[in-house]
Structure 1
Amino acid sequence: MPDRLPNRPDDPAGRTPADDALAARLTLPRYPRSAAYDARWTIENQMGPHALWLLEWLAGALGPDVLRPGARVLDLGCGRAMTSVFLAREYDVRVTAADLWTEPGDNARRIAGAGVADRVLPVRAEAHDLPFGEETFDAIVSVDAYQYFGTDDLYLPTLTRLLKPGGTVGVVVPALREEIDGTEPPEHLEPFWEPAFWCFHSPAWWRRHWTRSGAVSVTAADWQPDGWRDWLLWCDVVAEESGDDFHVRMSRESARMLRADEGRTLGFARVVGRRR
């Protein structure tokens, strides 16, 4: 079965009522660029929260001078390259799509299918061993990945060496509204909590963490208003529409957690800094 293309189909003959209903459900006014992408394509290629929504929110804090046509961008932890395709198509930048767990050949097929093979290069890379020279990129972005490696005090100074002077790094991560005191999660989250969740931190924590590094001037570190509601909507849709049993199970469990929390603790933070 051929891969679905990212474009939302314009030909009524190519759409079903179910396609239209799904597209309507996932069309949110605050993400106008993401709304142009085929909903089933995003479901087939997801690896967590809706990456295009999160990237579109991040782009609003980066500014047009960062994602300017022709800029060189590292998409760190790109997963199945949806965000890399989005960056190339929406902003006409040149993207290096780096991920450890997704085969570069698989991403190359998706990238070619999206018509951006001339602007996106897929590579396999581990975040602590990036095979790029210093001052290679104008910008580095990371969506739903940076929390797994970026809490290390020494990581950001090493990463920003890949940026040109004055270059920008911007990330979106699952986050805590406020830091959790002690060693136990809130009682209502105990049935769902995993040790890996301790890599989630508040926007204030990320601002302090990046400022202390001395590597960047922090220009944004904020909480996404109602981000948990978007996350919950996406989990419900994936649980209903995905053909992957693993993603269905994970989405259902995440939805249960988010309903129990109701935005009291969990959501998303974006953090942006400019290389000193």
Structure 2
Amino acid sequence: MQTFTDSYDKAYLLETMMGPNAMRVTEEMTSYLPMKEGMRILDLGCGMGISSILLAEKYGATVFAADLWVSPSENFDRFKRLGLAQNIIPVSVDITKGLPFAHGYFDMIVSVDAYNYFGCNDTMLPYLVQFLKKGGHMAVAVCGVKEDFPKDRIPKDMQPYLELDMGFHPLSWWRRLWSKEPHFCLQHCREMDCLRQSWDEWLESPNPYAQRDIPMMEAEGGKYFSLIQITGQKAL
């Protein structure tokens, strides 16, 4: 069956990707979530906003598209051209310096291919949960590894490409971390099915970072990487 992502303008997606196809990853992740029209969602680390576009177009959500590196003005122009200026609110956010929102404001917080750069600690999940309504959901998708590298050493064939501080961890590591938060019920911690397809689509992108990743993925050859989905609900 054709998905929303499959039916979208592929040329547009290739131009706006900043990593493995965030629209495809978001679509698989949201299939595990109770999506409802009119939800208020924070898309944290949205890049050029293709995850936000899916949330607004497919589900009728109001999305706050937050990013540090892509300017709100650039994203606003992009959303306006798609007729989504009333549905997606672009904001500039440095999560390490705090969020400018009221506690209990969001029905859902999502983050695709970004959380591992700021959330590999004991403090980020409890901090973000404050911004969810009671019963609200949090969902992230992160690039990870199938198993921890032995003795914290990167395999020789991946040493030209990876660093230990990139936040690539196995599924078991993320499950332990998120299970610590007493006000949050972990519901899914799983390897995603779209790993290979989302990466293959990214490698087709004209983005120079995508071209740089081609030899890395050739060296990886399906041996090390995982795409991990973690979802859960704030206590009622």
Structure 2-normalised TM-score? 0.93
1:165–1:275 contact (8 Å) kept in structure 2: yes
Determine the structure 1 residue equivalent to 2:40: 72
**Structure 1: 5+ residue runs without aligned partners?**
1-28
Out of 150, 155, 159, the position equivalent to 1:181 is 150
Q: Which has the larger radius of gyration?
A: 1
Q: Secondary structure at the match of 2:43?
A: strand
Q: Are residue 191 (structure 1) and residue 145 (structure 2) matched?
A: no
Determine the structure 1 residue equivalent to 2:227: 268
Q: Are residue 219 (structure 1) and residue 154 (structure 2) matched?
A: no
Whole-Å separation in 1 of the counterparts to 2:224 and 2:29 = 21
Q: Secondary structure at the match of 2:104?
A: coil
1:138–1:168 contact (8 Å) kept in structure 2: yes
Out of 232, 236, 250, the position equivalent to 2:203 is 236
Whole-Å separation in 1 of the counterparts to 2:8 and 2:100 = 31
Determine the structure 2 residue equivalent to 1:5: none
1:154–1:213 contact (8 Å) kept in structure 2: no
Determine the structure 2 residue equivalent to 1:164: 133
1:232–1:259 contact (8 Å) kept in structure 2: no
Size of the aligned set, in residue pairs, is: 234
Determine the structure 2 residue equivalent to 1:11: none
Tell me how far 1:193 sits from its aligned partner. 1.9
Determine the structure 1 residue equivalent to 2:66: 98
Q: Secondary structure at the match of 2:95?
A: coil
Out of 24, 30, 33, the position equivalent to 1:53 is 24
Tell me how far 1:162 sits from its aligned partner. 0.2
Q: Which amino acid letter does the alignment assign opposite residue 101 of structure 1?
A: W
**Structure 2: 5+ residue runs without aligned partners?**
none
Out of 208, 225, 231, the position equivalent to 2:176 is 208
Q: Are residue 33 (structure 1) and residue 1 (structure 2) matched?
A: no
Q: Deviations over 1:65-95 (max 9, x none)?
A: 3x20011100001111111111100000111
Whole-Å separation in 2 of the counterparts to 1:194 and 1:51 = 22
1:226–1:263 contact (8 Å) kept in structure 2: no
Whole-Å separation in 2 of the counterparts to 1:212 and 1:112 = 41
Determine the structure 2 residue equivalent to 1:12: none
Tell me how far 1:55 sits from its aligned partner. 0.5
1:232–1:255 contact (8 Å) kept in structure 2: no
Out of 197, 207, 210, the position equivalent to 1:251 is 210
1:175–1:202 contact (8 Å) kept in structure 2: yes
1:211–1:218 contact (8 Å) kept in structure 2: yes
Whole-Å separation in 2 of the counterparts to 1:232 and 1:216 = 31
Structure 1-normalised TM-score? 0.80
Q: Which amino acid letter does the alignment assign opposite residue 150 of structure 1?
A: G
Identity of aligned residues (%): 32
Tell me how far 1:253 sits from its aligned partner. 3.1
Tell me how far 1:168 sits from its aligned partner. 0.3
